[in-house]
Amino acid sequence: MDPVALTFDDGPHPETTPALLAALGDAPATFFLQGSHAAAHPDLVRAIAAAGHPIGNHSWSHPRLPALTPAARELEVARTQDLLAGITGTRPALFRPPYGDTDAAVAATIAGHGLTEVLWTVDTRDWAGAAADEITAAASAVQPGGIILMYDGGYASTVAAVPRILAALSASGLRAGRLGLPASP
């Protein structure tokens, strides 16, 4: 079976993170955590790590990074790196820019932290209020090696869609795989 990567942005959230972890079971996913949310819920960060899911950096406060000064951009990335490393004992290796908004300056900032930028190939639009069936249908467009974007943002529809997505992947000869680098999820 060919792998695809399931990814979740903006967490952790007490309303959905535990339910997402339960819905995933032993299927791997990468959680791109927002620093301010991680600071508020370190227990959930530890739960994600304990479940074996890679944790990526998603900035501290979710700004449009290209619009920031170099110093502000550096602080967004560094503060989140330091926090996540302090909670988990491991520095994140992956970074997803908020909104997918990136440029050469963002690339230089994250490179300075040894981070690899990860975008996506399929946006489920769960963030726009999509229902579980719509999220599942959107995810079904993924190709082998693709990356599915979802949110750990308090959306019950996302939690409901995860088991359906996993079943649909299996029926299509695909499986959730670990996201190591963008070129090889």
What would the pLDDT profile of 37-70 be if each residue is shown by its tens digit?
999 999 999 999 999 999 999 999 999 999 999 9
101 in a structural domain = yes
If one counts every other C-beta atom within 10 angstroms of the C-beta of residue 181, the result is 10
184 in a structural domain = no
Predicted confidence band of residue 1 (pLDDT cuts 50, 70, 90): confident
185 in a structural domain = no
182 in a structural domain = no
Which pTM was predicted?
Answer: 0.95
Total domains in the chain come to: 1
CB proximity list for 22: less than 8 A, separation 6 or greater: none
Residues 122-155: tens digit of each pLDDT: 999 999 999 999 999 999 999 999 999 999 998 9
181 in a structural domain = no
Residues 16-37: tens digit of each pLDDT: 999 999 999 999 999 999 999 9
Q: CATH code at 41?
A: 3.20.20.370
CA distance linking residue 55 with residue 152, whole number of Å: 13
Domain span at residue 28 reads 2-176
Question: Of 146, 120, 149, 153, nearest to 135 (Cα)?
Answer: 149
- E strands within the chain? 2-11, 30-33, 55-57, 94-95, 116-117, 122-123, 147-151, 174-176
